[in-house]
Amino acid sequence: KYPDLPDFYAQRGMILCGLIRYPEAAECLRTALYKFDHGFSEIHDSSFFNPVVAARVAARLAQIDTHLGNEAQAKHWQERERAYMQGNAADIGEDIRISACYIVRDDAVHLKKSIESLRDAVDELIVVDTGSRDDTVGAAKACGAIVHEVIWADDFAAPRNAALSHATGDWIVFIDADEYFSDETKGNLRTAITTADAEGTEVLLIPWHNIDEVTGEVLLDSYAPRIFRRRTGRCYVGRIHEELRDTDGTVPKTNAVAPALLTLVHTGYSAVLTREKGERNLRILLAELDTTAEPERIWGYLAETYDNLGDAYHAEQYA
């Protein structure tokens, strides 16, 4: 006999989704929510079903109905998803401590907007300044950040790791000063982290929407690992295009976030800045190539940088 718990119906529904048996999957997922709504998870001590899980199940039902063309029903499940999360908002994630970290230099113009997009969701703000000549430090302190200053040495990983050394949160949100969470999704930040924590996720890949700061033109839509669980020994490696690594040198497993849940907008690239940053990146990459034990990691970035700078010959050499 199939266990009479919402957990098992939800799991079976997700498996059926993977098998593209959507009508059967939807039936199981609806049963899971029915049993949760009627207290089955409270009757049985072995149930781990909670409002966060219920919200994920409702979201999957919305996806199924959208795929099947049932728009009205999909909207119903989207509303149910919000209701589960809002009804649980007073309780979820309160015991999870979140640190927002930045490394900055001459970013006073952008920093306030970035911090405002996440301040309500985090417990502390850590800013490491690498030699600003404008009022970046003052702007950071005015936003409530704890500011530490380090000497810039053509190495992005070093100040990032300095910021991590001062953070006390269970989770880290590490974004740049010219990035901010969209108005439509910034209210979901703590919810997204709480869900990731409950699911055992290590790193969240955040939808990354790059726009030209001057023209507003969309330059690139991608994903970036901006949120992660703080672990002893977990740190950044690489002078530039730095990567998160664990103590044993491996890259922690990542999970992608849906754009509707969180979207990070990046505004720091105009045509002029792209050239300036490209020349800076090239200098740092060439320096790292002389010392790294993983030159193959650098070759691709060199090819891309040379290509962006219009140097087809060297781009081809490193490709």
Q: What is the full per-residue pLDDT of the chain (319 aa) written as tens digits?
A: 456 788 889 999 999 998 999 999 999 999 999 888 887 766 665 567 888 888 889 999 999 999 999 888 899 899 888 888 776 644 555 679 999 999 999 999 999 999 999 999 999 999 999 999 999 999 999 999 999 999 999 999 999 999 999 999 999 999 999 999 999 999 999 989 988 888 889 999 999 999 987 777 888 899 999 999 999 999 999 888 899 999 999 999 999 998 888 999 998 665 556 677 777 778 888 888 888 888 887 887 788 878 877 888 888 888 7
Q: Which CATH code is given to the segment(s) 6-87?
A: 1.25.40
Sole residue written with tokens 């030699």: 131
How far apart CA 306 and CA 283 sit, in angstroms, is 11
76-95 exposure pattern, b = at least 16 Cβ within 10 A, e = fewer: ebbebbeebbeebeeebbee
- Considering the chain, tell me which residue range(s) the CATH 1.25.40 domain(s) occupy: 6-87
186: which residues sit within 8 A by CB, 6+ positions away?
Answer: 117, 118, 121, 180
Q: Report phi then psi at 222, rounded to 5.
A: -150, -165
Widest distance between CA atoms in the chain:
70
CA gap 281, 309 in Å, rounded? 11
Predicted structure pTM score: 0.67
CATH 3.90.550.10 intervals, the chain:
98-203+224-260
The CATH number assigned to the domain with range 98-203+224-260 reads 3.90.550.10
Kindly give, in sequence order, each residue whose CB lies less than 8 Å from that of residue 97, ignoring residues fewer than 6 positions away. 123, 124, 168, 169, 170, 171
Please state, in angstroms and rounded to a whole number, the distance separating the CA atoms of residues 304 and 113: 30
- The answer for residues whose C-beta is within 8 angstroms of residue 309's C-beta and 6 or more apart is 275, 278, 279, 282
